[in-house]
A and B are shown apart, each in its own frame.
Chain A
Amino acid sequence: MDLAFLIATMERLLAGVPLTLELSALSISTGAAIAVLFAVLRTSSRVGEWLVRAYVYMLRGTPLLLQIFLIYYGLAQFAAVRESLLWPFLREPFWCALLALTLNTAAYGSEIVRGGLQSVAQGAIDAGRAAGMSRLLLYRRIVLPLALRQALPAYGNEMIAMVKSTSLASIVTLMELSGIAYAVISETYRAFETFLCAGSIYLAINFLIARGIAWAEHRLNPHLRPAA
């Protein structure tokens, strides 16, 4: 194998890593906040439940790439959008991709958080109510901490899926990791070597996330570890 080519390719690809990480971090963190909000909204009222269910159904039932196109190309059809205050954002591929990624992961994430909420023991909630906690305090101190601990492993998988999904941003011209990989392949026609380089960078990122989640699980769940 051509080592010089691999090194040169690696150098080019690494330049795309910051953008990949930026898209991942922003969409995962914002998406998680919305996911928690939606999961709570879903349990709080009938209307909320149906709105969130419809949202989750639509976003999980369609391809992410189509969602990106719908926002990036589709919205521009309307003069109202083009003349709105949001246009400086909505004409930028970065913000469109980020918006689609965030809305998408919020749908998957809210289902994961919902599973976590359902796992919280009724007794723990009763004890909080009996201690005079308000609804907000009960959520903040008891329900959400327990639910999020429960949801963490599944959410780790969702984070890894999101890192992979940021590659779709390259199709709306963003030069993140996959965008650069595409450029290298179409210049050199050396798909194997480029795949090797880009793939190992993604694997490394996802390995670190998996380790991070395992570490967080270990830190947050001393009650599940054998007593010291």
Chain B
Amino acid sequence: MDLGGYFTLIGFGPTGWGDQLLAAALMTLAVSASAFFASLAFGLVGAAAKLAPSAPLRWLAEAYTTIFRGVPDLLVIYLFYFGGSQALSALGHLFGHAGFLGLNAFMVGTLAVGLVAGAYQTEVIRGAYFAIPPGEIEAARAVGMGRLLMLRRITGPRALRFALPGMGNVWQQVLKESALISVTGLAEILREIHIGAGSTHLPFDFYVTGFFLYLALTTLSGFLFRGAEAWTMRAERRPA
């Protein structure tokens, strides 16, 4: 592996793969962010259901977290990739559409990875809610706050501070799991790397490039999350 040739290969020159790799990295970020926000939504609903007074709601949430934390992500992706088209085509037939309908790969990735991560997010948010000292909730009640106002002003911000480290872990997980979406053909990092490896017969060069691309993404976003954590912890630090 000669280094000059390597940098031409992954560079932005006419024979380089730089453009594709950059686009792929952006795609990885986009689908990861999309799945992460989906997981936040699923996690909020899941945590609310787990904390709900209604028993069936709690069982439903329990079933959700048990299934999606116990089944491989790859199977969930297959479920949405093939199952999504199965359902959509059936729906299409109903409305007189004869052909094949499918979810696009980006949607599949968002939903599948988002649902799996949402199961973990549920536990993170639930744990954060229980980490709030009960005295603070009582104090909010004592000044006459209603449930919604309390959620917005007191429990929400406090829970976020306790949840942020866990959410950072879920984000890292989502970023890495997004590589599995390559099986649906979405042009994210692993997919482009795989194509590059196949068409140039330089698999090692390409996979190592992918390795460091992911490492850069996880490292940089790790810094961001730690910065956000430090910001939410500002009240806990002593003044300088």
Q: How far is the CA of A70 from the CA of B76 in the complex (A)?
A: 24
Given contacts A65-B190, A75-B204, A77-B203, contact A167 B210 (CB under 8 A): no
Segment at the interface with B among A3-11, A112-120, A122-130, A185-193 = A185-193
Which residue, of B71, B73, B172, B215, has the highest number of chain A Cβ atoms within 10 A? B71
Residues of A that sit less than 8 Å from B by CB:
57-58, 60-67, 69-70, 73-78, 160, 164-168, 170-171, 178, 181-182, 185-186, 189-192, 194-195, 198-199, 202-203, 206-207
A63 touches B70 (CB 8 A): no
Given contacts A63-B179, A66-B179, contact A195 B78 (CB under 8 A): yes
Chain B residue nearest to A69 (CB atoms) is: B207
A77 touches B205 (CB 8 A): yes
A58 touches B215 (CB 8 A): yes
User: A206 to nearest B CB, angstroms?
Assistant: 5
Q: Mark B153-191, 1 if CB is under 8 A from A, else 0.
A: 000000000000000000010001111101100000010
Given contacts A62-B218, A192-B86, A195-B75, contact A207 B207 (CB under 8 A): no
Q: Which of A61, A192, A202 contacts B79 (CB 8 A)?
A: A192
B67 touches A199 (CB 8 A): yes
Given contacts A164-B71, A170-B74, A203-B66, contact A65 B215 (CB under 8 A): no
Q: Which of A63, A167, A182 contacts B214 (CB 8 A)?
A: A63
Q: Which residues of A contact B81 (CB under 8 A)?
A: 191
Looking at chain B's contact residues, is the secondary structure mostly helix, strand, loop, or mixed? helix
B70 touches A191 (CB 8 A): no
Q: How far is the CA of A194 from the CA of B86 in the complex (A)?
A: 12
Given contacts A62-B214, A69-B194, A70-B211, contact A206 B70 (CB under 8 A): yes
Q: How far is the CA of A192 from the CA of B85 in the complex (A)?
A: 11
Chain A residue nearest to B214 (CB atoms) is: A62
Residues of B that sit less than 8 Å from A by CB:
1, 66-67, 69-76, 78-79, 81-83, 85-86, 172, 176-180, 182-183, 190, 193-194, 197, 201-208, 210-211, 214-215, 218-219
A74 touches B177 (CB 8 A): no
Looking at chain A's contact residues, is the secondary structure mostly helix, strand, loop, or mixed? helix
User: A192 to nearest B CB, angstroms?
Assistant: 5
Q: Assuming A191-B79, A195-B76, what are 11 further A-B pairs, CB within 8 angstroms?
A: A61-B218, A65-B179, A65-B182, A74-B206, A74-B207, A164-B71, A171-B74, A190-B86, A191-B78, A191-B82, A203-B70
User: A81 to nearest B CB, angstroms?
Assistant: 9
Q: Which residues of A contact B204 (CB under 8 A)?
A: 70, 74-75, 77-78
Given contacts A77-B202, A167-B74, A189-B82, contact A62 B176 (CB under 8 A): yes
16 A-B pairs in the complex with CB atoms less than 8 angstroms apart: A64-B176, A66-B214, A69-B203, A73-B203, A74-B206, A77-B205, A164-B70, A164-B71, A167-B75, A168-B72, A178-B72, A185-B78, A191-B81, A195-B79, A199-B70, A203-B71
Chain A residue nearest to B84 (CB atoms) is: A191
Interface pairs A-B: 6 shortest CB-CB: A191-B83, A167-B72, A63-B179, A191-B82, A77-B204, A74-B207
B177 touches A63 (CB 8 A): yes
Q: How far is the CA of A60 from the CA of B136 in the complex (A)?
A: 37
Given contacts A61-B218, A165-B72, A181-B75, contact A191 B190 (CB under 8 A): no
User: B54 to nearest A CB, angstroms?
Assistant: 24
User: B67 to nearest A CB, angstroms?
Assistant: 7
Q: Which residues of B contact A62 (CB under 8 A)?
A: 176, 211, 214-215, 218
